[in-house]
Chains A and B, each alone.
Chain A
Amino acid sequence: MYLALFLTPWMLGYALSTIVMNHNASGPQTFITESQQPYSAVFPPGTPARQIGEQILSDLHLEGAFGVQEPRPDGTFVVNRQDLLHPRRITYSPADHHLVVERVEFRNSQFLNRFHHRRGFQQPFAADRAMAWSIDAVIVALVFWALSGLWMWWEMRATRLWGFAAALFGVGMFAFLALTI
């Protein structure tokens, strides 16, 4: 019970975001230009993309989880700062030493989508690690609830018949779908 009460916000987030994703209701992202500025940093050829991204974010005071791709053929370099509330796209054009910072317009559906997809221990930041640990806690909780729920049901003799019917129907439906689709 206490585990469930503690994890209520996570479960609420996962339930709502699953509905959004199941109905493909996120829609396209809208970018709003936040700033444009000259940027004079020079990166020697062969500098790893992540190192460039890290430097640009540090210079903009936007440190945090991010993703980068290799530079485009014209040298333009894009950093995606994966902020949960306000993700940003930073485009650096080395040809004219220019930097454009764009922020994604906030939408509830897209926020829920980002929340659902935020996971893993790849990013070295404390908040990302805390999120990943909390997901592990949700995993343990789900398995624990399943097992403890089964035990509590078995202890209630009056519900055994209908409970058995519900469980059998669920297992049968799941097995059929798992083997069919």
Chain B
Amino acid sequence: MTFLYLTRRTHLYLGLFFLPWVVMFGISSLPLNHTGEAEPAAWTRIAELPFTADVPAQGQDLRPLGEKIMAAAGVSGGFYVNKPNARQVNVNHPNFLHPVRITYQIDHNTLLAERRAFVFRQSLTGMHTRGGYNLGGFWDAIWAALVDIFSVALLLWMASGLIMWWKLPGTGLRAWGWLALISGAISFAVIIATL
């Protein structure tokens, strides 16, 4: 087993495993790069119930309260929690297909949970932008780990691609490769410097 053989196989099998992510990141970049009028999403009420809990003071961790709110609304998985003002706490469960938003009205001691209808564009961009290990859900952490591995895979594809190009026989392919590499680097540098 030669180094070049190992490089080629790593390039290939990593590519085949991450094929859905490559396609997803590619296609989902389209609506992010070409923003337009988003169709309004429909939200359906799934729970409305009385709820009372101690609200942490400003600057304190809201996640324990978020967990209570998620449990009371009967929703499980990862979530974000924030307190936009003194009277309200918001919990968002960012499901790709049907995200749920839960609003705790502190003054009225009520909890309102709503589920969004499926919107293709938002589901797609949701996959693109989902990341990080701070959501709390087990499978959310797996997704974040796969995003990390995908990023490393991108670096490996670049490195192995460069090695495979360099090992190609003949000087013509190498010369055209240099041209592509250098013109790309110059174009990139010019754009970055002027942006």
Interface residues of A (CB under 8 A from B): 1-16, 18-19, 21-24, 64-65, 82-85, 115, 118-122, 126-128, 130-132, 134-136, 138-139, 141-143, 145-146, 149-150, 153, 156, 159, 162-163, 166-167, 169-171, 173-175, 177-181
Contacts and interface: CB of A to CB of B under 8 A. Distances in A.
Contacts of A156: 12
Interface of B: prevailing SS: helix
B13 A162 contact: yes
Nearest to A126: B194
A179 B131 contact: no
A119 B30 CA distance: 10
B144 interface: yes
A6 B13 contact: no
Contacts of B162: 5, 8
- 6 closest pairs, A vs B, by CB? A142-B26, A6-B184, A174-B20, A9-B188, A15-B154, A170-B17
Contacts of B56: none
B22 A120 contact: no
Contact of A142 (B23, B77, B181, B187): B23
Contact of A139 (B30, B157, B191): B30
Interface residues of B, number: 68
Contacts, number: 183
A4 B161 contact: yes
A84 B192 contact: yes
Contact of A22 (B33, B78, B132): B132
Residue among A6, A65, A85, A167 with the highest chain B CB neighbour number at 10 A: A6
Given A5-B181, A8-B184, A15-B155, A120 B21 contact: no
Given A22-B151, A119-B32, A159 B12 contact: yes
B185 A9 contact: yes
Given A5-B162, A24-B134, A149-B19, 8 more contacts: A1-B161, A8-B158, A84-B195, A120-B35, A132-B33, A134-B187, A166-B16, A181-B137
B183 A6 contact: yes
B135 to A, nearest CB: 9
A139 B27 contact: yes
5 contacts: A6-B180, A122-B35, A153-B12, A166-B13, A170-B19
A4 to B, nearest CB: 5
Nearest to B123: A178
A15 to B, nearest CB: 4
Contacts of A85: 192-193
B96 A142 contact: no
A15 B14 CA distance: 15
Nearest to B156: A15
B143 A21 contact: no
Nearest to A65: B195
Contacts of B191: 127, 130-131, 134
B122 interface: no
Contacts of B127: 178
B176 interface: yes
A142 B22 contact: yes
Interface string B108-142: 00000000000000000001001111100101101
Nearest to A176: B139
